[in-house]
Amino acid sequence: MKKIGVYTKNFSLYHDLLNVLKRRKIPYVSLSSKNKIPNKIGVIITSHNELHEIKYKKIISADIYDNLDQVIDIAIQVLIGKDLYTRLIIGIDPGEKPGIAIIADDILLKKTNVDSPELILKNIKRYLNEYPSINTLIRIGNGSLIYRNRIINNLIDLDVPIEIVNEKKTTIVHNKGRYNKDGEAAATIALINGIIVDKRQPIIISRGDIKKIQEESRKITEGKFSISEKKAISVLKGNINLKDAIESDNLNKKPKHL
């Protein structure tokens, strides 16, 4: 398979691109000349300003996209050379920072994480556009019940079949980072048959869930205070993130000056 070529005089962009490629362990070639392109290059990533300087038919302008991970995804798509997949499976490992994996026609194209369950929808919409498929399926693990149901409720209107998968076989070895573990668990989830869910799920919050969020807020504030029960429920429902909840409650706890 041919490789991604990187050519740009924009040092900051060049440095950031190489960091993403190395993090994702994607083979690449750093090009020193825009005129001598090795045969092993299948696509070139450059800046928008340099786009028309390079005489090559497969070029991607890195700085017109939302982020560099998206740029790399598109470059891989070009390398594979597929405009339409037969079957696309999106695996999701639910949690506070969910893992996502994309498998298209039995090829693992992507493993990543997002910072909250509510960001899943934006990313899934982008993947559906980037990897068009005849048949598409979303599979989500059955753990982290509150986070799982929040994700399902956000995705239910996409009109893409959703299956809940038993997560027992998705445990990843503990010597890997959180990022890799969630991504690999999502990839395993994508390969397991599940049970179809076709309606919104209830968000059931227990006393234990509330206490856990309050304890987490106390750790973050180094024991100074815990957020209120009401605020903890808002965090669990996804109405506010924990950091903002802490800041909000902290302001309310400060003495008011006359």
**Tens digit of pLDDT for each residue in 74-118?**
898 888 887 789 999 999 999 989 999 999 988 888 888 999 999
Say yes or no to pLDDT of 170 above 60. Answer: no
* Over residues 167-188, mean pLDDT: 63
Q: Give the pLDDT band (50/70/90) at residue 168.
A: confident
> Is residue 121 domain-shared with residue 177, that is, in the same domain?
yes
Q: Are residues 226 and 178 in the same domain?
A: no
| Domain end point (choices 31, 51, 80) | 80
Confidence band of 183 (pLDDT split at 50, 70, 90)? confident
Question: pLDDT, tens digit, for every residue of 110-162?
Answer: 888 999 999 999 999 999 988 889 999 999 999 889 999 999 999 999 989 99
Residues 89 and 173 in one domain: yes
- 176 and 121 belong to one structural domain: yes
> Residue 16 is inside which H or E element, if any?
helix 11-23
Q: Examine residue 167 and state whether it is found in any structural domain, yes or no.
A: yes
- What's 37's domain CATH number? 3.40.50
Q: What is the CATH number of the domain that holds 116?
A: 3.30.420.140
Considering the domain architecture, whether residues 142 and 211 belong to the same structural domain is answered as no
229 and 183 in a common domain: no
pLDDT value at residue 175: 41
Query: Is 28 a residue whose pLDDT tops 80?
Result: yes
**Which whole number is the average pLDDT over 60-68?**
87
Structural domain of 94: 85-197
pLDDT of residue 252: 66
If asked whether residues 185 and 113 sit together in one domain, one would say yes
Tell me which of 179, 197, 215 is where a domain ends: 197
Q: Are 112 and 100 in contact (CB under 8 A)?
A: yes
Four-residue CA torsion sign, 135, 92, 185, 67: positive
Nearest to 18 by CA among 56, 71, 55, 81: 71
Q: Is residue 65 part of a domain?
A: yes
Q: Is residue 245 part of a domain?
A: yes
CA distance 45 to 71: 8
| 103 shares its domain with 193 | yes
Average pLDDT, the chain: 88
| Domain presence at residue 202 | no
- Assess whether 142 and 189 both reside in one domain: yes
Give the confidence band of 250 by pLDDT, cuts at 50, 70, 90. confident
**172 and 101 within one domain:** yes
Is 176's pLDDT higher than 70? Answer: no
Q: Categorize the per-residue pLDDT at 181 as very low, low, confident or very high, splitting at 50, 70 and 90.
A: low
Confidence class for position 230, pLDDT limits 50, 70, 90: very high
Q: Tell me, yes or no, whether 234 lies in a domain.
A: yes
61 and 120 in a single domain? The answer is: no
Last residue of one domain, picked from the residues 158, 175, 197: 197
Query: How many domains is the chain built from?
Result: 3
Question: What is d(CA 186, CA 120) in angstroms, rounded to the nearest whole number?
Answer: 13
CA distances from 7 to 12, 33, 41, 63, 69 (A): 12, 8, 11, 13, 17
CA distance 247 to 131: 40
